[in-house]
């Protein structure tokens, strides 16, 4: 009887252990499957066409205008800025007031007004405008932009701007003791511009919709055309080059061009972003993509520091001497210190984080990294495009 009880207990224990091991195996399989899926997701990155392309002809248009800002607290242009006084005199003349152009007004500043006219803009739409001082004004804080026409590159007026300025900085102080934060001579007028002329495209006139890739890529161009043709079950798209894919509107048979563009932009392809390293030598900023790989390379980095110190020594004549004088003579000491050479060895297909960790380990600064990256690229060890800005 005791043996039977023990046997039943052993069987139950074995069942519990096997159940636990089964659960562990299920979890392990899920983790392995998830890791494989993550790796596949990294290798084959799905992106929408709207994120990597734009429609040819559908773009923003720059606008610019010249005007004046009034209401400043004595921080406007000085009398040496002649065009400010001339502009103020012209504005007053249009209002029926005659003033000399040599008048001194410190509460006025001449400015350039810039804005971006979005695609499909209609009359009455609001725009954000940027106001920038072009004279010697100290600050535009508290100013109001007077009505300013905004023109496109064709010389036509497409919008008008007016309103109070908002600044992201300030300047305070006097007599050389000035505290300045950000730029106080550049401000914005939120919703201060009004579109006066339609600049919308008539999509109904399009016979061909051209998709323009943001980054040229022959493979992506081919895949986009194949994805569109598969969506419409016929050849309606053609890859022209590494940037352009044309879609035949009539052959696609869509009810409208708008619906055609919407349907095309929501398609996705397997996109492989280009490996690229962007380096700013002025600031030491380095941006590297995650797909950047390295060939087998060995990096040696060392520095030599030379220090020159000067000590003042007092030179006196011998005791009981009849001639001589006490003088101060500089005593120069030159010391040379050479830091030990730091070494990094990276194998085939090393990742970016391994390179960064190795450079940190040898104490390389941002500017050192710039030089090291250029040397690696020259040696053929960097499998990416290196762009220096």
Residue 278's pLDDT is 82
Instruction: Report residue 32's pLDDT band, with 50, 70 and 90 as the boundaries.
Output: very low
pLDDT, tens only, 273-294:
777 888 777 776 777 765 777 7
Res. 125: pLDDT tops 90: yes
The verdict on 297 and 370 lying in the same domain is: yes
Task: Name, in order, each residue with C-beta under 8 angstroms of 369's C-beta and a sequence gap of 6 or more.
Answer: 284, 286, 359
Residues 233 and 319 in one domain: no
Chosen domain end from 252, 271, 290:
271
Q: How far apart are CA 314 and CA 270, in angstroms?
A: 79
Residue 160 has pLDDT above 90, yes or no: yes
- 317 or 375: which carries more pLDDT confidence? 375
Q: Is residue 265 predicted with pLDDT exceeding 70?
A: yes
Residues 69, 190 within the same domain: yes
Phi and psi torsions of 60, nearest 5°? -80, 160
Q: Give residue 23's pLDDT band: very low, low, confident or very high (50, 70, 90).
A: very low
Q: Give strand pairing partners of 213.
A: 53
pLDDT at residue 312, as a whole number: 56
pLDDT attached to residue 193: 95
Cβ atoms of 344 and 362 closer than 8 Å: yes
Running DSSP on this structure, what letter comes out for residue 168?
S
257: Cα separation from own chain's centroid: 33
Across the strands, what pairs with 53?
213
Higher pLDDT: 165 or 298? It is: 165
Tell me the Cα Rg of the chain: 36
- Beta strand 327-338 with 109-117 is unpaired
Going by C-alpha positions, the residue among 382, 300, 377, 295 that lies closest to residue 344 is: 300
Domain boundary among 240, 271, 302: 271
Let me know if residue 132 belongs to a domain: yes
Least confident of 11-15, 156-160, 165-169: 11-15
83 & 186 share domain: yes
Closest CA to 197 of 118, 126, 123, 125: 123
Indicate the pTM of the whole model: 0.64
pLDDT band at 352 (very low <50, low <70, confident <90, very high): low
Domain shared by 383 and 307, yes or no: yes
| Paired residues of 189 in beta bridges | 129
- At 234 the pLDDT is 92
Q: Does residue 232 lie in a domain region? A: yes
Helices 352-361 & 366-378, crossing angle to 10 degrees? Answer: 130
Q: Are 188 and 69 within 8 A, CB to CB?
A: no
Identify the band that residue 29 occupies on the pLDDT scale cut at 50, 70 and 90.
very low
Same domain, 248 and 350: no
Could you list the residue range(s) of the whole structural domain that residue 376 is in?
Answer: 277-388
Tell me, what's the pLDDT at 158? 95
Q: What's the pLDDT at 20?
A: 42
Specify the pLDDT at position 306: 45
Average pLDDT, the chain: 77
Helix (H, G, I), strand (E, B) or coil at 201: coil
Are 75 and 191 in a shared domain? yes
Domain count, the chain: 3
Q: What is the pLDDT of residue 248?
A: 94
Residues 44, 46, 51, 55: what is their CA dihedral angle, to the nearest 10 degrees? 100
In a domain, 337, yes or no: yes
Q: Is 28 part of any domain?
A: no
Q: Is residue 24 part of a domain?
A: no
Judgement on whether residues 211 and 162 belong to the same structural domain of the protein:
no
Helices (H) and strands (E) in the chain, counts: 8, 24
Q: Cα separation of 378 and 368, whole Å? A: 15
Q: Is residue 372 domain-shared with residue 290, that is, in the same domain? A: yes
Q: Is the pLDDT of residue 303 over 50?
A: yes
pLDDT at 46 over 90: no
Each residue's pLDDT tens digit, 67-82: 999 999 888 888 788 8
In 200-267, which ranges are E strands? 208-213, 237-239, 244-248
CA distance 296 to 290: 18
What's the average model confidence in pLDDT over 15-31?
39
Residue 301 lies in a domain: yes
Please indicate, yes or no, if residue 112 is contained in any of the structural domains.
yes
Q: What percent of the chain stands above pLDDT 90?
A: 35
Q: How confident is the model at residue 262 (pLDDT cuts 50, 70, 90)?
A: very high
Total length of the chain:
389
pLDDT in tens, 180-225: 666 788 999 999 999 999 887 888 888 999 999 998 889 999 999 9
For residues 379 and 353, state if they share a domain: yes
Is 45 within the bounds of a domain?
A: no
Higher confidence at residue 2 or residue 163?
A: 163
pLDDT-derived band at 152, boundaries 50, 70, 90: very high
Q: Are 218 and 203 in contact (CB under 8 A)?
A: no
Are residue 336 and residue 289 in the same domain, yes or no? yes
Residues 287 and 379 in one domain: yes
Last residue of a domain, one of 225, 255, 271: 271
Q: 240 pLDDT band (50/70/90 cuts)?
A: very high
SS3 for 223? Answer: helix
């Amino acid at each position: 009887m005791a043996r039977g009880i023990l046997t039943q207990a052993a069987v139950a224990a074995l069942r519990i252990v096997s159940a636990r091991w089964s659960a562990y195996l299920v979890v392990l399989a899920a983790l392995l499957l998830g890791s494989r899926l993550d790796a596949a997701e990294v290798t084959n990155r799905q992106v929408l066409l709207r994120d990597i392309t734009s429609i040819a002809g559908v773009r923003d248009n720059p606008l610019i205008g010249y005007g004046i800002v009034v209401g400043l607290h004595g921080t406007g242009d000085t009398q040496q800025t002649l065009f400010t006084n001339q502009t103020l005199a012209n504005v007053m003349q249009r209002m029926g007031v005659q003033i000399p152009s040599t008048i001194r007004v410190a509460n006025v500043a001449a400015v350039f007004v810039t804005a971006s006219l979005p695609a499909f803009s209609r009359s009455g739409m609001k725009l954000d405008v940027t106001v920038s001082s072009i004279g010697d004004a100290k600050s535009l804080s508290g100013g109001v932009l007077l009505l300013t026409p905004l023109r496109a590159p064709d010389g036509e007026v497409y919008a008008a701007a007016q309103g109070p300025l908002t600044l992201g900085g300030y300047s305070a102080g006097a007599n050389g003791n000035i505290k300045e934060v950000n730029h106080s001579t550049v401000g914005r007028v939120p919703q201060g511009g009004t579109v006066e002329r339609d600049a919308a495209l008539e999509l109904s006139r399009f016979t061909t919709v051209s998709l323009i890739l943001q980054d040229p890529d022959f493979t992506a161009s081919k895949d986009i055309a194949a994805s569109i043709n598969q969506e419409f079950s016929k050849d309606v798209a053609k890859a022209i080059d590494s940037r352009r894919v044309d879609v035949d509107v009539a052959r696609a048979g869509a009810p409208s061009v708008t619906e055609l563009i919407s349907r095309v932009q929501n398609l996705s392809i397997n996109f492989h972003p280009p490996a690229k390293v962007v380096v700013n030598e002025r600031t030491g900023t380095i941006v590297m993509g995650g797909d950047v790989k390295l060939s087998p390379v060995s990096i040696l980095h060392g520095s030599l520091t030379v220090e020159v110190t000067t000590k003042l020594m007092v030179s006196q004549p011998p005791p009981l001497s009849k001639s001589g004088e006490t003088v101060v003579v500089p005593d120069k000491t030159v010391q040379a210190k050479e830091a030990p050479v730091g070494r990094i060895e990276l194998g085939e297909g090393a990742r970016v984080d391994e390179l960064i960790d190795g450079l940190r380990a040898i104490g390389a600064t941002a500017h050192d990294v710039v030089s090291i990256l250029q040397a690696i690229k020259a040696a053929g060890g960097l499998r990416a495009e290196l762009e220096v800005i």
